[in-house]
Structures are given as C-alpha cells and as structure tokens.
C-alpha cells in the first residue's frame, strides 16, 4: 500500500527534521479529521542499540547475540518488537499529531510483519481512522490512529493501531 503523505504543520512530505513546536498548537478533538496524515523521522537502528535494549528488556539470544541469532527463527540479529514499538513512540512524540495534553494511548493493536534489523532507519507514517466524542465524558474523545513504522526501503516493520485519548475544545 502506498500512502501519500501530507504533513499538517506545513513541512514537506516525509519530513525528517523536527517540527517547530511553536507552529503546532495542541490539537483538540475538533482539530483532527478522518484521513489526516502525519509522518517523519529517521532513527538509525544499530547492533549496539538492539543489544542494549534487549539486555534490559528482552534478553533472548536472537536479540543479543549475532551468532546465536543465525540459527533462530529470525535468521540473524533482530530488534525486539518492543524496541521497535518504543522507537515508534519516540517518532510519534516528535512527528505524530501534537495533541493538546500529549499523546496518550489507552489501548492498541500491534503487528510486526518483519523484523527490524541493524542498519534500518525508521520513520513513521500515521493516518487518522476515526474521531469519536466520548458519550460519558464531554471533555474528551477517542481518536483511532494507524501508524506504520517503515525502514529506508519502505518495508513495513510494525503496524500500530492505537486508541488515543484526546481532549475536546474548551
């Protein structure tokens, strides 16, 4: 699937520079529409960052040892899926929608179609799937956002569909 990227803050498509926060006031539910897209980022994944994360949070041989990884399901060193998820969050904090009050997810679905490898450079491409005011809490609503985390070859490493808590305009 090819996604045409439109960046709300006026930066170029596939922006890899940090947006100027002053240009991006906090978005409320009323500012977000189905089909809105956000993108950007360039996190370089290395053997060292893969191993450092894995030693702390996912100490399995295919994440910590190149030699052992060769004989594993992954056929070589691969980042923990949770490392890919954490790097995705880093990219979303910078390049995702600048929601008033912050980017807060209550739940999500995550899939890892292929492993993240040393040498990959990650960016995110986000699309708003739904915008739903809360029935019980008039001050907020839920935004469903799909985020693809891709490497420099456009290969999809992670698909995240997250329910974000977004305040309504006061």
Residues of this chain that bind a copy of itself (CB under 8 A): 53, 56-62, 72-73, 80-83, 85-87, 89-90, 93, 101-112, 165
State which residue, 35 or 170, has the beta carbon closest to a copy of itself: 170
Q: 25 or 102: whose CB is closer to a copy of itself?
A: 102
Q: At what angle do helices 47-57 and 81-95 cross, to 10 degrees?
A: 110
At its nearest, how many Å lie between a copy of itself and the CB of residue 63? 9
Nearer to a copy of itself, 5 or 110 (CB): 110
Cβ atoms < 10 Å from Cβ of 78:
24
Query: How large is the C-alpha radius of gyration of the chain?
Result: 17
Q: How far is the C-alpha of 92 from the C-alpha of 14, rounded, in Å?
A: 13
Q: Is 110 or 129 the residue whose CB approaches a copy of itself more closely?
A: 110
Backbone angles phi, psi at 47, to 5 degrees: -55, -45
Minimum CB separation of residue 95 from a copy of itself in Å reads 13
Smallest separation, CB 43 to a copy of itself (Å): 10
CB of 163 to a copy of itself, least distance (A): 9
Residue nearer to a copy of itself on the CB measure, 4 or 67 = 67
Q: Name the token pair of 130.
A: 């739904």
61: three-class secondary structure by DSSP: helix
Pairing between strand 105-111 and 140-150?
Answer: unpaired
End-to-end CA distance of the chain: 38
Q: How far is the CB of 15 from a copy of itself (least distance, A)?
A: 18
């Amino acid at each position: 699937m090819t996604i045409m990227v439109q960046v709300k803050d006026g930066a170029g498509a596939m922006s890899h520079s940090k947006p100027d926060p002053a240009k991006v006031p906090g978005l409320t539910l009323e500012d977000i529409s189905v089909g809105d897209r956000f993108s950007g980022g360039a996190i370089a994944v290395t053997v060292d960052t893969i191993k450092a994360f894995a030693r702390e949070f996912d100490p399995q041989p295919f994440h910590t040892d190149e030699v052992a990884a060769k004989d594993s399901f992954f056929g070589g060193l691969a980042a923990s899926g949770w490392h890919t998820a954490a790097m995705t969050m880093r990219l979303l904090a910078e390049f995702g929608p600048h929601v008033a009050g912050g980017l807060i997810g209550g739940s999500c679905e995550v899939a890892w179609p292929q492993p993240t490898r040393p040498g990959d450079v990650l960016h995110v491409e986000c699309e708003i799937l739904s915008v739903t005011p809360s029935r019980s809490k008039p001050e907020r609503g839920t935004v469903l956002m799909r985020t693809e985390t891709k490497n420099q070859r456009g290969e999809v490493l992670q698909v995240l569909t997250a329910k974000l808590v977004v305040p309504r305009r006061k």
